[in-house]
Each structure stands twice: as structure tokens, then as C-alpha cells.
Amino acid sequence: MRHITSKHIPDITEFKHKLLQWSQQFEEVVWMDSNQHDTSYSSYDAILAVDAFTSIQTDYFEAFTSLKEYQEITKDWIFGYLTYDVKNGLEHLQSNNFDGLGFSDIFFFQPKRLFLIKGNQVEIQYLNMVDDEVDSDLEAICSLQKEALDSESNPVKIKVRMHKDAYFKKINTMLEHIHRGDIYEANFCQEFYAEDVSIHPLETYKKLNAVSKPPFATFLKQQDKYLMCASPERYIKKVGQTVISQPIKGTAKRAVNTVEDEKLKIDLTHNEKERSENIMIVDLVRNDLSKTAIKGSVKVEELCKVYSFPQVHQMISTISSKISETVKPIDILKTTFPMGSMTGAPKLSAMRIIETLEDTKRGLYSGTVGYFTPDGDFDFNVIIRSILYNQTKKYVSYSVGGAITSKSNPASEYEECLVKAKAMRDVLEY
């Protein structure tokens, strides 16, 4: 079904730039880049999938049933996303908040052209109908000249959907729910946006990726809609009979001074509030994974380890499980979605409360983008630290959030949101 070619590329950095530039001619694009983060859980350094042969696009109703059918019939590489609002098909939930972007609830496609990069090797997998175009495509990619910045990329004036006083009021309402025992923790998000603006999606992504250098960077194009994602977080991955999830809870800013920066990292490591946030979500993820796991196989591989990124320090845990060969890959997603780090605990109560307090429909933000292999393995990120763009509507949006617990201070939570938002704001405004 696929013609496979392997090439050694001496300058892989230059090739990646040209490959991404070349991809812009297609209506469907998924680019995933690990930015050379050395992790034992990575299968590839970067992946490009373009040019849909088949696809599925639907709303949240029976979304997982439709995706399972598509994945099992296709038995090939498929790439795409699930929006946060797919939750509405899993529980009696609704999303009636404002949506300026209009992404469909679920979208996956089978690419005609696929590039898998590991080290200096590029594995090129083309469907048979286009396999005679491999050489001409490679020639076109390698002969590309670096594009000048598009004149469309003007500074964007960002507006807040939720003003500071309203944010404080809503956090206090969330704290009332926590003190009453309705929930232990909830992830509360707010949107920043701009209307009637034009941006250059690829250049915007490049700038965002350059300042953040995250392990789960993604550029997604679906006709006139774009995701420019600098996510540091993996949602879930399956390789064979092993499943891993790596939730993030706990954030601290970086400092230019090395001594001060190290102190911020150590303070985060020992911060009681941040650790309790993380451990609550670890318990939730363990519970979710146990729904498809072989009994007794769920393990916490790493608890509350602090990793440093250019913009922030993050507290990350890794949980693994083993599954039997009879478990369907889609069922692992269905029993763990939405990811605990973006909801709270207990998950259903947190999602209900979030919906009443947030002003914006989350849509693709806090959803997931990733891929399935022909063997049913998969890898999905968490869509955070991301800019979303509807080119037709000329609407740009990014959202940020934080975990609210009984120890939360509204002013500190607001400050954390601004720290998380800094890279997106800087990229758009300057």
C-alpha cells in the first residue's frame, strides 16, 4: 500500500525547514517536532503528513465509534485531532460558550505523503498512487529557497475575554466548590484573542517554536484553520502492549540569572501546592489507565520530576500500563479522554463546573493532536501553549489555564496564566 524509501540527509535542520515550507501547498498538514528533546519515549524526531487520500470529520456524537471504524478500515497511518468538546459524547455534558474558531470536533486523515525523521535518516512513505513523485518532491524540497517574512505578519493587538476582576470572582467560586467537597481540583482556562487580523501561520509557528522549543510542537493546517502548538506535554502513547501518559501539573517561571533560575527550579520541586496538584492528577490518570490495563500493571515511572524549558520549569509525572492484545487502541483514548491535567478531579464534576465558569468554548485548545500507525500504536500531545487561527474569519486565539486547588491564591493563579501566555503574546504582538 505504501512505497517506502529511506534517505540520509547531511543537514537535517535545513531539510526540516524546507520540508515544512514545501508542505504549505497542501490542504491538510500535520507537522510534529520533538525539537531534539532526548526522551526514551520518542519514536521519531519529527514527522510530516500531508495531502489527504481519505479523511473523517464529524461532531462529538459517537465520535469514538466513528474514529474506531475509520481506523480499523483504513489500517494505515492516520493523523488528526480530537477537540476537548468530544467529552460531550462521553458524558451528559454540553459546550454552549462562545466559539470564534469553528474547528470540527474531530478530524483525521490518511496522508498520501509521509516523512518520518530520526537522526539524519528520513523514511519516506508514499501511497502507491503517488509513489512515482518521491524523487520530484525531494528535488522540489531541496531546491527551495528560504522565504522572506510575509508582509501579512503585522503586530496583533491582543484582547482579554475575561477581565482580571471577573477572573478573581470565578476562581473564588471554584474555591467554594472545592471547600464544599464538590471537587478536589479543576483546571480553569481563559482566552486571549484578536479579531479582524491576518497572520502568516507558518512564520507564526516558527517564531513560537523558536522561543519555546517544546518536545511536542505541532503545526496543523485543515483548509482555512490552523494550529500553531508549542506543547510541552504528552497526553498518551501506545507502543505494542505498553501505554504511557505524562501529565504536567506545576509551573514556575525561568530566570536569566543561573543561581536564581536554579532556586526557582528547586522551589518548584518542593512546592507543596504544586506537588499535591500533580499527585491528584497522577491518581486520576492511574485510575483511567486501569480501565484498559492488565490487572496490577499500572505503574508510576516518575513522580513530580521538574523539567526545564526555555520559558518555564514544569513538573511532570510518567504513568505506564500494560494492555492485552485484544484491547482496541481507540478504547484507550475513550477511557482516558479528556486528559486529567486539563480537567480535574473527580473528572466529571470538574468538567461540569468548568463549563459553567469559563467564557469560551475550548474547542481544539486542551484537546489533542497525534497519529495512529498501521499497527494501532499511537502518540498524542496535549494542545496547550498554542495559537489557533481561522483564516476566513480572521480570528486569532490562545488560551491558558491553571489547576485550582484548596491552596490556590487567585492573584498567584492569574500571574501563572500570564507566565504561560508570554510566548504566544510576544510572538503575536512583536
The Cα 167–Cα 33 span in angstroms is: 34
For the chain, what percentages of helix, strand and coil (3-state, to nearest 5) are there?
35, 35, 35
- 419, 253 contact by CB (below 8 A): yes
Write down how long the chain is.
430
Enter the DSSP assignment of 62: T
Euclidean distance between CA atoms 118 and 43, whole angstroms? 8
Closest to 201 in 3D by CA, of 227, 239, 180, 178: 227
- DSSP-derived secondary structure letter, 337: P
Torsion, CA 150, CA 154, CA 155, CA 159, rounded to 10: -110
Q: Classify the C-alpha dihedral 286-291-292-294 as positive or negative.
A: positive
Q: How many CB atoms lie within 10 A of CB 77?
A: 19
- Which positions are catalytic? 233, 249
